[in-house]
A and B are shown apart, each in its own frame.
Chain A
């Protein structure tokens, strides 16, 4: 279910049989009241449709007023009761509104006729009842047609919103994939692999399997908004092992995640992004090793590294990784990530979901 401002008609509750029968009975009654009842009343009060409609079109301001009221009524009801949620209340309100507009229209016409001395009293049933029935039909048709048109327009807007959401999601996924399949990482990994193939085939084979595992994870988790901490830590470990082949003693990892946190979730590739960031922005060498610590702190998972900045790191950095993590957390759980920077360490806290 995709949330949007047009969310109302997308999640329609299945109507129950009682509601369907009630509304079917209402349609049935209205149809017979108007068509058959009208014939009986026509005989009693001896009037014709042409008389009623000539009255209506004669005072066209009243006609426009009634049509305006009908449209306004539907819009007003839509503001309070959305489609598909309370069908009986909506229908009842429409019928009550219809009666009020029809009564008002009929009285106003009769008042005009009274002042024109066409009728003797504004309460004269002979003139009021035919008018009421004719106006009722007109308003009823206007209201049901308006309701239908407004609903159809809303459905179109929803379809458009869904298509836009789909496109945005596809674009985001593509951007995410592109950023994940970092070509530098791949080139470096292939260089390391090339070296290992010539020096130690067993390590080369193990390295290749880990590399495949990392890419498999990236592709498998592409569709998921969040993943179990256990899976993510395993993936981060594999990624770290690949980096370790390249940096050897220059890169150290201290991982402290109690087992009871394994079923909590974080965004996919969250830890990997932070490890990658740490190696990207800091000097990694056996003389001054980069220590990455991953541990739990309350409801957060913290990734901390010591600071030993590269001179070129500011030029390369655009903060894309952190911005992407921030955006993902805001979308997912309306929570921000926390960045704590001191002279000695750089720390990023990711919320546990």
Chain B
């Protein structure tokens, strides 16, 4: 049991960090090339949530609910975070976006992990 949990945690750690990095990279590239990064970021967020939730046998319809909540939270928190970083720290717009995207993805990934592992059924 202990081995499985630590293996799961390693997988989730890797997954969230990789997706946070992919979010940041996509945001950077899209901003540098002058494209809107929303489509790719949303697709990546949905993929991350689906991978985390299916790992813990979450039913698809609840995964759908989680993904939807995460997409909205990601969008609004992302915009809010970027604006705040820009105004408080004075970072460049692109850098602020990239940094916020990374932090918000990590946050949402770990929140999702906490939700799906709460009272997990060991069937």
Chain A contact residues, CB within 8 Å of chain B: 1-2, 9-12, 14-15, 19-20, 23-24, 26-28, 30-32, 34-36, 83-84, 87-88, 90-91, 94, 140-141, 143-145, 147-148, 151-152, 155-156, 158-159, 162
CB distance from A159 to the nearest CB of B (A): 4
Inter-chain contact B59/A151, CB cutoff 8 Å: yes
Stretch at the interface among B14-22, B88-96, B99-107, B115-123: B115-123
- State whether the Cβ of B71 lies closer than 8 Å to any Cβ in chain A: yes
CB distance from A108 to the nearest CB of B (A): 25
From A24, which residue of chain B is reached at the shortest CB distance? B46
Contacts of B46 in A (CB 8 A): 24, 27-28
A152–B43 CA distance with the chains assembled, in angstroms: 25
Contacts of A90 in B (CB 8 A): 61
**8 A Cβ contacts from B75-93 to A:** 75
Contacts of A144 in B (CB 8 A): 64-66, 68-69
Contacts of B25 in A (CB 8 A): none
Contacts of A152 in B (CB 8 A): 115, 118-119
A11–B122 CA distance with the chains assembled, in angstroms: 11
A148–B65 CA distance with the chains assembled, in angstroms: 7
Inter-chain contact B120/A147, CB cutoff 8 Å: no
- State whether the Cβ of B9 lies closer than 8 Å to any Cβ in chain A: no
From A86, which residue of chain B is reached at the shortest CB distance? B61
Instruction: List, sorted by A's number, 18 A–B pairs whose CB atoms are closer than 8 Å.
Output: A1-B123, A9-B59, A10-B121, A12-B59, A23-B60, A28-B42, A83-B62, A84-B59, A87-B59, A87-B60, A145-B65, A147-B61, A148-B62, A148-B65, A148-B66, A152-B118, A155-B121, A156-B119
From A36, which residue of chain B is reached at the shortest CB distance? B38
The 7 A-B pairs at the shortest CB distance, nearest first, are namely A84-B59, A87-B60, A144-B65, A10-B123, A159-B119, A83-B59, A31-B71
Contacts of A35 in B (CB 8 A): 38, 72, 75
Picked from A2, A12, A19, A156, the residue with its CB within 8 Å of the CB of B57 is: A12
From B49, which residue of chain A is reached at the shortest CB distance? A27
From B123, which residue of chain A is reached at the shortest CB distance? A10
How many pairs of A and B residues are in contact by the CB < 8 Å rule? 104
Contacts of B72 in A (CB 8 A): 31, 34-35, 141
From A150, which residue of chain B is reached at the shortest CB distance? B62
Picked from A36, A145, A158, the residue with its CB within 8 Å of the CB of B121 is: A158
Contacts of A36 in B (CB 8 A): 38
- State whether the Cβ of B63 lies closer than 8 Å to any Cβ in chain A: yes
Inter-chain contact A140/B64, CB cutoff 8 Å: no
Contacts of B39 in A (CB 8 A): 32
Inter-chain contact B68/A30, CB cutoff 8 Å: yes
A88–B121 CA distance with the chains assembled, in angstroms: 23
A11–B66 CA distance with the chains assembled, in angstroms: 20
In the complex, per-residue mask of B13-40: 1 if CB is within 8 Å of any chain A CB, else 0: 0000000000000000000000000110
A87-B59, A144-B65, A158-B121 given; name 11 further pairs at CB < 8 Å: A2-B123, A24-B50, A27-B64, A32-B38, A34-B72, A35-B75, A87-B60, A148-B65, A156-B118, A156-B119, A162-B122
A241–B118 CA distance with the chains assembled, in angstroms: 55
Q: Given A28-B43, A158-B121, answer yes or no on A19-B68 (Cβ-Cβ < 8 Å).
A: no
CB distance from A164 to the nearest CB of B (A): 13
- State whether the Cβ of B98 lies closer than 8 Å to any Cβ in chain A: no
From A90, which residue of chain B is reached at the shortest CB distance? B61
Contacts of B58 in A (CB 8 A): 12
